[in-house]
Structure 1
């Protein structure tokens, strides 16, 4: 165990060439970063989970009712033991072979089994109130975090001149405000990971998990390696647009479409500016280029920039979804969905909906065709009767 610890905390990994841990111990200032400080984020995460439960019940849920949000009533499916057993053990999306096997176990038709699974999935889907409460909690945290982070950095020199991120590095003391800024952000992202099994599963679920892990690793590593000045800038840039997205979701669930559209447009502008312009041009540029004026590349330098590049790839992915939403808004005139993360993930559900639409359209065409054929047949019968009567009238004089 001691050998692993010595290997993990090699100063060549964490500190620039020529700097040792003894040099870090001689650093002057009110606080210097220590790895054990990160343990504080775990009780902070537990506190966030408790606070979230109280907030959703005492604030978010009454707010949703005040905004007029009403949950849709889902049809309760008929209890069928063997279908329920398959649903819980084997999955929510049975294949065609599975459905044929289930049909043989009951007197239901193939279509009835498909409909049962469809309604059963709808029954398990999270309600609009749950999604509103989740968005309201995130909105509150991101707004408070952005406000507090901006207040703690407004007088910091590196906010306005990123070269100051490296003056005196790595022997830079940590201010109490920036320490707690780190612990609150780390605790919040730990709480998101701990609650991932009960939160709404969205379209970009995997990307969100990667984002949370990358953020936690980035914050933890940057704190231990004293990249705290850069870390505070990263957190501030991310929080600047996230609270706008969550507020747009809240009004979307409440049915305030115009307010939702306006907030989404503002969010899209802030997101594209902060994540595709400010983040690469200010933060990644200073870690890749400006830092080389102070030290030579080492392991920590490459690891920090690798994590920042992962975040930037996620930014590009989400920017693509947002631009697709803007395209729909401009050319179709409405925002049907939040392409970034508003719609919960349900594999195969879109295909099923399209299938039902095609079947419904086919039934309508069949009804129209049957009606047309009926009219055509009736008209043919009438014509035949008319022709037969006319022929009989023409034959009568000859008979006489």
Structure 2
């Protein structure tokens, strides 16, 4: 009887694993995904544009975007995605009849508009500019703010010495950068003049090409997973399942379960600091600070949405823009500093901690606590 029970359990395991490995469509959708109906998706905006007679073409790689833009004059929705190179950003912007960078980061602001990030907006502001799209939309509550000084740029929605929207004119083409993650998602589209601004910017032409990258650059070399036939993974899993069934069938029966206290979870930041202390004790302050700096740079990059590929210099520039600190001082902390003794190590570590706190204070709403 026990043997039949073991066989039944093995069959259940095999069937369950088979269901798990059965290919199914991906449902992963990110912020401002035009197909997503979640709070941070942009399906509502796409529906409104289509009701206004705009044809929305959704593409997932720069090659498809190039092909779509080649067929007809169109506005391009361009995210600052790690899947796109600087060359992609420049080429697609030049090819489009007009571009809206609605998911901006430090790279796109600098490369396409000669602008820098300048913190985060607070409260509703009026356009205070001559751009028709902004004038018709009225007030908004901008997200990421920018500083732009180029002669071919104009700005709207000022807050202090920064603005919430920057446009750049090149002949008949007009490109715009604005934080759509705060304005155009399903959650925020109905607030203030957000919907009107989105329609005015994205509905200026009959066709909108919406680039929503999925994974890496289409031009990248295929990975091992791409080259592996689809039947290999199910076969390997089935082999493990068969071995598990045999072990259950022929193996010894387990005794009663024994409760065991598990070790506590150690945060990544505490691990990095602990290793830094060990190097400090070994009279290697430079190596110790390198660990502290790398950990802090990763957390700052994550907080600013720069992605894993951002260099230390890009992280430093973005942190300086957000906090308003001297670019040279921030680059010293995140790139150049090499402490020669313990006193210098303590001083740099203290300043690094203060910089990280300043970044989070600049991007988080007032009264919001953060967990390191």
TM exceeding 0.5: no
Q: Which has the higher helix share?
A: 1
**TM-score normalized by the length of structure 2:** 0.24
Q: Which has the higher contact order (CA 8 A, sep 6+)?
A: 1
Please say which structure displays the higher CA radius of gyration.
1
